[in-house]
Amino acid sequence: MRKKSLFLMLVIGNILTIQAQEKQEYTTMNPFFQAYNTPFNVPPFDKIKNEHFKPAILEGIAKHQAEIDAIANNPQPATFENTILAMENAGELLANVNTVFSNLNSANTNKEIQNIAKETAPNLSAHRDNIYLNEKLFARVKSLWNQKESLGLNLEQAKILDNAYKDFVRSGANLSPADKETLRKINGTLSLTSLKYGQNILSETNGYELVVADKKDLAGLPKGIVDAAAADAKAKGKDGKWVFTLSNSSVMPFLQYSSNRELRKQIWNSYQTRANHDDAADNKKNAVELANLRGQKARLLGYTSHATYVLEESMAKKPENVNKLLNDLWKPALEMAKNEAADIQKMMAKDGIKGAVQPYDWRYYTEKIRKERFDLDEEELKPYFSLDQVRKGVFQVTENLYGIQIKPLSNVPTYHEDVTAWEVTEKDGMHLGVLYMDFHPRESKRGGAWMTSYRSQKTVDGKRVAPVVSIVCNFTKPTATTPALLTFDEVSTFFHEFGHALHGLLSNVTYRSLAGTSVPRDFVELPSQIMENWAAEPEVLKIYAKHYKTGEVIPEALVNKLKKAGTFDQGFTTTEYLAASLLDLEYHSQTKDITVDTNAFEKAAMTKIGLIPSIIPRYRSTYFSHIFSGGYSSGYYSYIWSGVLDTDAFEAFKTTTLFNPEKAKLFRENVLEKGGTEDPMVLYKRFRGAEPSIEPLLRKRGLDKKQEPVKKLKG
């Protein structure tokens, strides 16, 4: 009997030893469970595999929860250090893995990653609720908030305390137990539905091809676009044909140049009905469910609508202020768009086409009118906008303004062969951060363009921890015979996203929750949109707009044409954008559940504002990822709100010198470096000396003669 017990103990001991060895090996093999040991401590993309994500996320949640429990159950009275600062510094593993995972799910996804996202979304949602619905933790935060005036906190400390208290209250900390349980269910469903909405758009976008087999059906398309379509066809095993897709760099040039109206109609209809086919990838129910759940959550928290809830923390403060701005712009923009439609109608009549202007006619005839009226063909511009030259221009503008140096890194791992890495330094060589750039479309990447972060800036023991940021775009790809040649719209997008990157890279705060782009949604677009202004300036064009074959600087005559055409088609551009912004607010201003499907809801909303049939909202309900899966719900208006800010801010340079060192220093110190440390309007006024005026925006868009302008933007 004794021998049997001894044998059993040996077996158990061996099993425990094997399990410990397996756990050690498993932990050692997962790069998230150890120091990165890479240059600049960037993520070790070359070592990270799909199977590493789920265990790291779950372990990250467990560790973070243990840290939170220790804070909540601390027997010592709450202090800033043992509660607010402890919360700020908790959850490092989860933050590390989640930033990599969520970014790859957008920029380089696959079925396995998408499945992991679905599997872990409920865990992440529940974990957030476990923090913000923790009564003991909230009691500690609230006790500090109640005595904040006597704690002797500095500006940033006071800000993260205030943010923490608001986050708890806005996350349901004051709700009854029953309402908290309801909130948990809403949050869990929101998380999964938003994820599914985004995956459906990617599936629909990747699932469509317009295959052209007859060369005559390519009539009107420039050689570069044809070559790109041939390369896409070859890559898809359709050599000798031409493939056009629903990525913007493919569908938009097709709509702009193809003289085959039937094919334009075909690809347009596929584009504007994405995720709207009553199949497994349909988003009509998802959009309504997301809007309704957000409304239910807002009402549960004591707000009249989701828009009221969101805008409380914005510069705009309330929906009435947003609607005022949008409606002030809507009337002159729509009037201009109607005039543009009349011009298109006349040109269509010359071509023998009867009937109303259709959305798939707009870009094609606008391009013809642009050429006739300004002698400007966008294809004439593209040879001067090679991606490499535009990149050099962006870097030079940044150096001229802020003295920043940017050099390539060859020893840094990246997540895809298309991605490049760069070190960003001060003029004296001091390291500021690492920048990734990912430019071209692929099936693993969602559409659009965005800036993101792999590590936010913070300060530890007086030493600045440098950020790691990335910009992701979907620019025209190079072909076998030409480099990537950008449209001017793509050039502007590059400048735009680089402005966001600067906001992250130049951040100089103490706490990571206040770093860089951690600002209200309607302020975050200021650093990006102001950069766009430099892109079109003649002085700047001469820096980077050089012919990719000859190196010739863009001719003055072409620059003048571009300038003269600056307000051309702004009726359409502004109207389609405002329509989408108003649609967003319509969804999220509802005070009770929506009972019709998105098609009916959208039609009623657009009829109410008088949108003409030849224009649709920039994003329709079933593929409006900004608001239904991208964090811009009740906030899509922010581009135009920030448009007021950026045009007013650029006047500070335009009326002095484009690279005014004093103004650049003020902008850097009061906007780019400050993150979310202070009220945005306070920061803006410190830079500009006054609140912004709407007049520069009206002038820029050619709308200044259409209405009595609003003098100031009030927040």
Tens-digit pLDDT profile for residues 555-606: 999 999 999 999 999 999 999 999 999 999 999 999 999 999 999 999 999 9
DSSP 481-550: SS--B--HHHHHHHHHHHHHHHHHHT---SSGGGSTT-S-HHHHTHHHHHHHHHHT-HHHHHHH-B-TTT
Across the strands, what pairs with 399? none
- Least trusted range by pLDDT, from 27-36, 231-240, 295-304, 346-355: 27-36
181 in catalytic set: no
> Residue 104 in contact with residue 415, Cβ under 8 Å?
yes
Both tokens of residue 618?
Answer: 């920039």
Predicted local confidence at residue 711, as pLDDT: 41
Predicted local confidence at residue 704, as pLDDT: 79
The total of other beta-carbon atoms located within 10 Å of residue 298's CB is: 22
3-state secondary structure at position 112: helix
Is residue 202's pLDDT more than 50? yes
Predicted local confidence at residue 417, as pLDDT: 96
Predicted local confidence at residue 470, as pLDDT: 98
Across the strands, what pairs with 421? 409, 436
3-state secondary structure at position 330: helix
Predicted local confidence at residue 709, as pLDDT: 38
Q: Both ends of the chain: CA-CA distance in Å?
A: 82
The total of other beta-carbon atoms located within 10 Å of residue 462's CB is: 6
Write down the catalytic residue from 497, 586, 602, 673: 497
Predicted local confidence at residue 26, as pLDDT: 55
pTM flag (> 0.85): yes
pLDDT digits (tens, 9 = 90+) for 203-254: 999 999 999 999 999 999 999 999 999 999 999 999 999 999 999 999 999 9
pLDDT digits (tens, 9 = 90+) for 516-563: 999 999 999 999 999 999 999 999 999 999 999 999 999 999 999 999
> Nearest to residue 326, comparing CAs of 691, 608, 613, 629?
608
- Which residues of 356-490 form beta strands (DSSP E)? 405-409, 420-425, 431-438, 450-455, 458-460, 463-465, 468-472
Cα distances (angstroms) measured from residue 464 to each of 304, 432, 433 = 42, 9, 10
User: Which backbone phi and psi does 575 adopt, to 5 degrees?
Assistant: -65, -45
- Structure confidence at residue 12 as a pLDDT band (50, 70, 90): low
- Which residues of 99-177 form beta strands (DSSP E)? none
- Structure confidence at residue 368 as a pLDDT band (50, 70, 90): very high
- Structure confidence at residue 19 as a pLDDT band (50, 70, 90): low
> Nearest to residue 271, comparing CAs of 292, 295, 241, 251?
251
- Structure confidence at residue 14 as a pLDDT band (50, 70, 90): low
Gap between the Cα atoms of 106 and 548, Å rounded: 31
pLDDT digits (tens, 9 = 90+) for 605-622: 999 999 999 999 999 999
Gap between the Cα atoms of 441 and 108, Å rounded: 10
- Structure confidence at residue 714 as a pLDDT band (50, 70, 90): low
Per the model's pLDDT, the better-predicted residue between 11 and 572 turns out to be 572
> Nearest to residue 530, comparing CAs of 619, 401, 704, 437?
401
Q: What value does the mean pLDDT take over residues 257-281? A: 98
Gap between the Cα atoms of 584 and 500, Å rounded: 23
Predicted local confidence at residue 25, as pLDDT: 47
